[in-house]
């Protein structure tokens, strides 16, 4: 299952970035772009991510995957289309077979939300009437 290796790589990269940032107490969420043609099953990735996070700074972090649809362009006629799954790589306009994939293979960390160890705001409370 290559989703586990993807999940471990994401955890490693986020943990490394957190270490460079210094004073990170916990990672709350990781947003990841996953292309339709990347060969990753989002549910399997989420399961593996949870396992890969165990015992790390990311334990309990939410994985948010953003699907990126596959798109292609025909080299001869410049027509663009959504390739879908399974991918249709023949131009639907002219039938050409020389195509360029424009999107859909992405696997990229887009955003990480973490808590740092900066000063914590402790709310002050008003004394109740019996304490006055």
Q: Which is nearest to 74 in space by CA: 50, 106, 53, 98?
A: 98
Q: pLDDT at residue 125 above 90? A: no
Q: pLDDT at residue 118 above 70? A: no
Note the pLDDT tens digit of each residue in 82-91: 999 899 999 9
Helix (H) or strand (E) holding 21: helix 2-21
Beta carbons of 57 and 26 less than 8 angstroms apart:
yes
Could you tell me the CA-to-CA distances from 105 to 31, 72, 98, 111 in Å, in that order? 16, 11, 18, 18
Q: Which range (3-17, 88-102, 114-128) has the least confidence?
A: 114-128
Note the pLDDT tens digit of each residue in 22-71: 889 999 999 999 999 999 999 999 999 999 999 999 999 999 999 999 99
Share of the chain above pLDDT 90, in %: 82
pLDDT value of residue 116: 82
């Amino acid at each position: 299952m290559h989703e586990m290796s993807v999940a471990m790589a994401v955890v490693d990269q986020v943990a490394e970035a957190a270490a460079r940032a210094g004073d990170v107490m916990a990672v709350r969420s990781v947003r990841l772009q996953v292309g339709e043609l990347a060969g990753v099953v989002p549910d399997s990735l989420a399961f593996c991510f949870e396992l890969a996070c165990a015992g790390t700074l990311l334990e309990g972090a939410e994985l948010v995957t953003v699907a990126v649809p596959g798109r292609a362009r025909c080299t001869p006629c410049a027509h663009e289309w959504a390739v879908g799954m399974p991918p249709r790589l023949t131009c639907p306009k002219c039938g050409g077979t020389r195509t360029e994939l424009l999107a859909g293979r992405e696997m990229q960390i887009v955003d990480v939300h973490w808590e740092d160890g900066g000063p914590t705001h402790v709310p002050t409370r008003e004394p109740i009437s019996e304490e006055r």
